[in-house]
Structure 1
Amino acid sequence: MIFFVTGTDTDSGKTQVAAALLYKARTRYGLKTVGVKPIASGCTRTAYGLRNADALMLMEQSSLKLDYEKVNPFAFEPAIAPHVAATDAGIELSPEGVLARLDLTQYSMADFCLVEGAGGWRLPLGNNRYLSETVVALAMPVIIVVGMKLGCLNHAVMTEELIYADGLQVAGWVANRAQPDMARFEENLASLKQMMQSPFLGTIPHIPGADVAEMAEHLDLAPLLQSP
């Protein structure tokens, strides 16, 4: 099973939710897991090369151990839009180029694989191309992480509609309370449950430190494990 994880915006909490899903699949269901982040900006320069905190978090929850370059093939140091960082680095990003760098043979060795995007569904790669085109080419079902804050209702519904319009399955969505002070949280959550068409995978409360094991307790993997 390979799923793509997208968010309603940059700070929706995709990585923490993806890590929690991997943790639960590994510890509760005994599945062989792997997490991948093809494109990442805001990386840190180390003795081993550029390293991204999100990619490292996914690797920590992966029972299938891959070389870093297999997990995060496009790593950029500046914390800016990846297509801008790529241009500065003299690298051309394209859906085909991303696809070519994904080691699908290795990923398929896992029972449960998550490929995390960067930003939202229409992450630009430059030249009017988008990362979503790579997801469409692979026909990956998508998990949406909704960062619960003012404006998320519109962002969540539009994201789901775009994914369906691209001909893909939405495997489920997660409400992540990244902002603890969101006004009228329960009413907004109830509205989302009425408006979203895809399966609801759970609500993650605000957890200081984003403890992955604690977050996993609030997630329901059943709809994902039942996916074809």
Structure 2
Amino acid sequence: MIGCFVTGTDTGVGKTLVAAGLLHALARRHRRVVGMKPVAAGLDGNGDSEDASALRAASTLAVPAALDNPVLLADPLSPHIAAQRAGVRIDVSALVRSYQALAAQADAVVVEGAGGFHVPLSDSATGADLAQALALPVVLVVGLRLGCLSHALLTAEAIRSRGLALAGWVANRVHPAMDAVDENIAYLRTHLGAPLLADIAHQRPPDARSTVLALPAQWQ
């Protein structure tokens, strides 16, 4: 079974786009692929998570929401605050059990984290703790904007400090008018120590199906 954990340099950098793109790429090689959004904060007009819905649309395996989005919080806030407001405690071990139930049914699972790598899930746990508990290789989405170099290098360092493999990274041109964008990408290609899986042009609206992503080498 193939699995990965998608994280980002910040919120709003395109993690869902990349996670869905990975699902589409995996579906060309595997019959049963499924996305997972363990924790989602914020509801769409249908009372669901926009991110979880996008992952479901890119999946070939339909599963109960309790497995692919076990924690759905109403307020679009840091998960630990949204959970406090909802009277919910996010339990990392319970999220891992949901992932294991998905993995038992699937050929490939793509897990999308919430926010950045160290986003708080509770007073005592972060997204990094979840990634470490899942023990999956990590794909890092870098939102190309001023400050992204430091954010990307710090996140890569944090990923490796947890004993996790950085399987690859994606450059997402979230700011179409960013100056010196090619120079920023060149610097990260030299210093991140992981393969560049895609350089995504600015998209409005984002289209995961047309986004071309290389799969990490270990999945070829």
| TM-score above 0.5, yes or no | yes
Q: Aligned ranges for residues 17-96 of structure 1 at < 5 Å?
A: 17-26=18-27, 28-44=28-44, 46=46, 50-96=47-93
CA positional deviation for 1:222? 4.6
Where does residue 110 of structure 1 map in the other structure?
Answer: 106
Q: Give the Cα separation in 1 of the matches to 2:94 and 2:29.
A: 34
Q: Would the alpha carbon gap of residues 43 and 224 (structure 1) be closer, same or farther in structure 2, given more than 3 Å must change?
A: farther
Question: Is 1:174 aligned to 2:175, yes or no?
Answer: no
Kindly indicate whether the alpha-carbon contact (under 8 Å) linking 1:45 and 1:77 is maintained by their aligned counterparts in 2.
no
* Mapped partners of 2:125, 2:209: distance in 1: 37
Q: Is the 8 A contact 1:172 1:224 kept in 2?
A: no
Q: Cα deviations across residues 128-175 of structure 1 (Å, max 9, x unaligned)? A: 321221221221111101111111111111101111011111111111
CA change 1:125–1:36 in 2 (3 A) is: same
Q: Is the 8 A contact 1:5 1:117 kept in 2?
A: yes
**1:103, CA displacement in angstroms?**
4.2
1:20 Cα deviation after fit: 1.0
| C-alpha distance in structure 2 between counterparts of 1:176 and 1:163, whole Å | 19
The within-5 A match list for 1:101-140 is 102-140=98-136
Q: Indicate the SS of the match to 2:20.
A: helix
What amino acid sits opposite 2:66 in the alignment?
E
Conserved? CA contact 2:30–2:107, under 8 Å: no
Equivalences for residues 137-216 of structure 1 within 5 A: 137-215=133-211
Matching residue of 1:221: 215
Q: Secondary structure, in 3 states, of the residue corresponding to 1:156?
A: helix
Structure 2 counterpart of 1:33, one-letter code: V
Structure 1 residue 127: Cα displacement: 1.9
Q: TM-score, normalised by structure 2?
A: 0.93
Percent identical across equivalent pairs?
A: 39
Cα distance change of structure 1 residues 214 and 45 upon mapping to structure 2, 3 Å threshold: closer
What secondary structure does 1:144 align onto? Answer: strand
Q: Quick one: which amino acid aligns to residue 12 of structure 1?
A: V
| Residue range with higher mean Cα deviation, 125-134 or 139-148 | 125-134
1:14 equivalent in structure 2: 15
Paired residues of 1:148 and 1:179 also in contact (CA < 8 A)? yes
Q: Distance in 2 between matches of 1:87 and 1:124?
A: 12
Q: What residue identity is the alignment partner of 1:2?
A: G
Structure 1 185/57 Cα, relative in aligned 2: closer, same or farther at 3 Å? same
CA distance in 2, matches of 1:122, 1:157: 14
Aligned length: 219
Which amino acid is 2:38 matched to?
P
**Gapped runs of 5+ residues in structure 2?**
none
